[in-house]
Chains A and B, each alone.
Chain A
Amino acid sequence: MTIRLRDLAACFEGVIPSIIATAAPDGTPNISYLSHVVLVDDERVALSNQFFSKTATNVRANPAAAVLIVDPRDGGQYRLDVTFEQTLDSGGLFEEMAIQLRATSTQVGMGAVMRLRGVDIYRVRAVQAVLAPQPGQEVSSRDVGSQLMAAATVARSVSEAADVGSIVDAVLDGLHQAFSFSHAMLLLKDPAGERLVTVGSRGYDRSGIGSEVLVGEGVIGTAAAERRPVRVSDMSRVRRFSSAVHASSDEENRTRTIALPGMPDAMSQVALPMVAHGALRGVLFVESSERLAFTKGDEAALAVVAMQAAAALALAEAEIGEGPSSGSIAVDQPVMTGRSFRVVHYAYDDSIFIDNEYLIKGVPGRLLMHLLRIHQREGRTEFTNREIRLSEELRLPDIKDNLETRLLLLRRRLEEKAAPVQLARTGRGRIRLELAGLALLEEAAGRTEG
């Protein structure tokens, strides 16, 4: 039986090192391990050219080489008869390998060492299974049809969702139900462009809503910076830069930073850029404690979901005007039945503390303060997005584009902290403040101590 390269996709996940043998024109052989072998198509593979300079020299004089790849699921070995064709130092394939290398090497602190010089393309003339005493399982490619169906299921529920919050929920619930991926996060880009903010997650102890990742940092930040999917199949040797951060509310109060959720024992991760109208909107991130949890096919299906979610979110943000209010119509509910609570606003970073607990900072913090002030002045609890957009007091040139997202972030964070003030969405473009008691507003000038 002829073995097709595409049936050996698992061998190219970078879990078990591959091997290459070459020979110099004088007949001296050379044997070396390889860091990256990439499946290009059924006839070609690509090797990263970083360290194995003797290999690179040899194939330029004698293009015949042998490559040994290993299936990480059963240890099965396959020998490829290859011929060196050319070196690429630019283009899609080169970029893809360079990104993959950067994403993994920045985390092991080898960013500078692991620079990709070029990608060597080899034509594969024959594929042969190496004999083994107990032959492994029959090589089978994973069912691409099921991934396509799962993507369609998620796409359907995303397309039914009408507001930012429902879209985020449709994506994350869909990943769990249709793909059985239980640990996922959705992050949206801050309009300033330097950071991504978590607006929803599934599977973690804490939701991490409001936590931030810098563009360019780690797997998530690299996917955002490069606008390409980044996939890691074996993190066992990749140091987790965030694992040392202890997530506690004491820590949040002290640093005014919410810790990014994460699996301490993650082995596989995939991050998909969310792009719409040519602009990066965010990143969809999925992880697993299993090696090789995500195949190239999963990556493709998730990429489609991420793009569709980006388009739906862009559309939801662009919608102007209000729908009818649901529930108790426009009657300002009587409030102040419970005890009063203290809301402190720090102007220098717009951070908000409610009864000494850190809530949020930045634009969502300013928004909450704005709504509470109006409420104090006018006793009103119902607001429309339009009046917020037009507000003189907020003076936010960029708020128009991301108001829905900011409100969602604020609403979810208030929910998670079980704060005495909550934000409810009462219809398209309409929100309501729900207060459990009297809010005592306070402006603080400086920074808090320790």
Chain B
Amino acid sequence: MLIPQELAAFMASPVMIILGTRDDALVPEIARAVGAVVHREEGSVDLMVSEWQWPQTMANIRANGQLAVTFARPSDYVSYQVKGHATIVPTTAEHTDLARRYMESMASTLGELGLEQRIVAPWLVDRDLVALRLSVQEIFVQTPGAKAGQLIERQS
């Protein structure tokens, strides 16, 4: 499914990225990603995740691939959630570079909101970086308010 231009730009901007997966017993797990590369035409998003920090999430993706990702702008809580199936793809130099740039711009964005570098450091980790490719099947508005949870698009 084609990812709308506006959403693609939002996902690639300095927004917090959180991941939800589950194991085979349907026990959910949380992780953070450090950057996203959007392939609009293919309807997919590559997400950079530290396997060192979030091993259970990687195990869940390898086992069943079910993934939900929320992108949230820290200044105003504007948020979108995308869901679909993910696989692990080879990590390229582009991925590693992007993660580095994302961590820098995210740290400075959060810095402007009054959060010091030492506080945000534990959330921005790229040790043992892995790239997940999410094939987007559903897009939801997640911004707090009456429209939260509203479906924008679903692959038919």
The judgment on whether A and B are partners is yes
Residues of A within 8 A of B113 (CB): 236
Question: For residue A22, which residues in chain B have a CB less than 8 angstroms away from its CB?
Answer: 20, 28
Residues from chain B with a CB closer than 8 A to the CB of A28 are: 66, 68, 83
By a CB distance below 8 angstroms, the chain A residues around B77 are: 33
Docked pose: A19 CA to B71 CA in angstroms: 12
- Does A52 sit within 8 A of B, measured CB to CB? yes
B121 touches which of A52, A68, A75 (Cβ 8 Å): A75
A33, B18: Cβ atoms under 8 Å?
yes
Say yes or no: A131-B26 contact (C-beta < 8 A), given A33-B72, A53-B149, A75-B123: no
Query: In chain A between 8 and 30, which residues have their CB closer than 8 angstroms to a CB of chain B?
Result: 19-23, 25, 27-30
The digit string for A390-428, where 1 denotes a CB below 8 A from any CB of B, is 000000000000000000000000000000000000000
* Chain A binder among B2-10, B38-46, B90-98, B138-146: B138-146
Query: Is A51 touching B30 in the complex (CB atoms < 8 A)?
Result: no
For residue B119, which residues in chain A have a CB less than 8 angstroms away from its CB? 72-75
- Kindly list chain A residues whose C-beta atoms are within 8 Å of the C-beta of B120: 75
Closest Cβ neighbor of A130 among chain B residues = B53
* B135 is an interface residue with CB less than 8 A from chain A: no
- Determine the chain A residues whose CB is within 8 A of the CB of B22 once the complex forms: 21, 23, 27, 29
Docked-complex contact A21 and B118, CB < 8 angstroms:
no
Interfacial chain A residues near B118, Cβ < 8 Å? 74-75
Cross-chain contact of A52 among B64, B114, B148 (Cβ < 8 A): B148
User: Is the beta-carbon distance between A132 and B121 smaller than 8 angstroms?
Assistant: yes
Q: How far is the CA of A52 from the CA of B141 in the complex (A)?
A: 11
How long is the Cα–Cα vector from A136 to B142 in the complex, in angstroms?
31
Which residues does B use to contact A, with CB under 8 Å?
Answer: 18-22, 25-30, 52-54, 64, 66-70, 72, 77, 79, 81, 83, 113-114, 118-123, 125, 127, 140, 142, 144-146, 148-149
- In the complex, besides A21-B29, A31-B20, 9 extra interface pairs with C-beta distance below 8 angstroms are A23-B66, A27-B64, A29-B68, A31-B18, A32-B81, A33-B70, A73-B119, A75-B122, A77-B122
A134 in contact (CB, < 8 A): yes
25 A-B pairs with C-beta separation under 8 A: A20-B30, A21-B22, A21-B29, A21-B68, A25-B26, A30-B20, A31-B18, A31-B70, A33-B77, A50-B144, A51-B144, A51-B148, A52-B148, A54-B140, A54-B149, A64-B28, A66-B27, A70-B123, A74-B118, A75-B118, A75-B119, A75-B121, A132-B53, A132-B121, A134-B121
Is the Cβ of A31 less than 8 Å from the Cβ of B19? Answer: yes
Q: Which residues of chain B have C-beta atoms less than 8 A from A65's C-beta?
A: 28
Report A113 CB to chain B, min CB distance, Å.
Answer: 6
Measured CA separation A23–B83 after assembly (Å):
12
Known: A32-B70, A133-B127, A134-B121. A66 touches B149 (CB 8 A): no
**Which among B19, B52, B72, B122 is the interface contact of A76 at CB below 8 angstroms?**
B122
- With contacts A21-B20, A130-B122, A132-B125 taken as known, whether A64 is within 8 angstroms of B26 at the C-beta atoms is yes
Chain B residue at minimum C-beta to C-beta distance from A267:
B114
- The listed residue with most B CB atoms (<10 A of its CB), out of A19, A68, A76, A77, is A19
Chain A residues within CB distance 8 Å of chain B: 19-23, 25, 27-33, 35, 50-54, 62, 64-68, 70, 72-77, 79, 81, 113, 130-134, 136, 236
Least Cβ–Cβ distance between A231 and chain B, in angstroms? 19
Beta-carbon contact of B121 and A236 below 8 Å: no
User: Which residues on B sit within 8 Å (CB–CB) of A236?
Assistant: 113-114
Known: A23-B28, A64-B27. A53 touches B122 (CB 8 A): no
| Residue of B whose beta carbon sits closest to that of A58 | B28
Given contacts A27-B22, A31-B18, is CB(A68)–CB(B30) below 8 Å? yes
Q: Roughly how many angstroms separate A20 CA and B22 CA in the complex, as a whole number?
A: 12
Rounded to whole angstroms, the CA-CA distance of A31 and B21 in the bound complex is 8
Task: Give bound CA distance, A64 to B21, whole Å.
Answer: 12
Taking CB atoms, residues of chain B closer than 8 Å to A131 are: 52-53
The answer for the CA separation of A21 and B69 in the assembled complex, in Å, is 10
Q: Once the chains are docked, how many angstroms separate the CA of A27 from the CA of B69?
A: 15
Instruction: Give the residue name and chain of the B residue nearest to A129 (CB).
Output: B122
Please report the C-alpha to C-alpha distance between residue A75 and residue B124 in the assembled complex, in whole angstroms.
11
CB distance from B68 to the nearest CB of A (A): 4
User: Do A29 and B67 contact each other (CB < 8 Å), given the known contacts A66-B28, A76-B122?
Assistant: yes
Q: Contacts A31-B18, A133-B121, A133-B125; is A51 near B149 (CB within 8 Å)?
A: yes
A31 pairs with B125, CB closer than 8 A: no
Write out the residue numbers on chain A whose beta carbons fall within 8 Å of the beta carbon of B114: 236
Task: With both chains docked as a complex, state the minimum distance between the C-beta of A137 and any C-beta of chain B, in angstroms.
Answer: 10
A22-B28, A79-B30 given as contacts; is B122 within 8 A of A35 (CB)?
no
Contact of B26 among A20, A53, A54, A62 (CB under 8 A): A62
Whether B145 lies near A51 (C-beta < 8 A) is yes
Query: Quick one: closest A residue to B57, CB to CB?
Result: A21
* 6 nearest A-B pairs in the assembled complex, by CB-CB distance: A31-B20, A132-B122, A21-B20, A21-B28, A29-B20, A75-B119
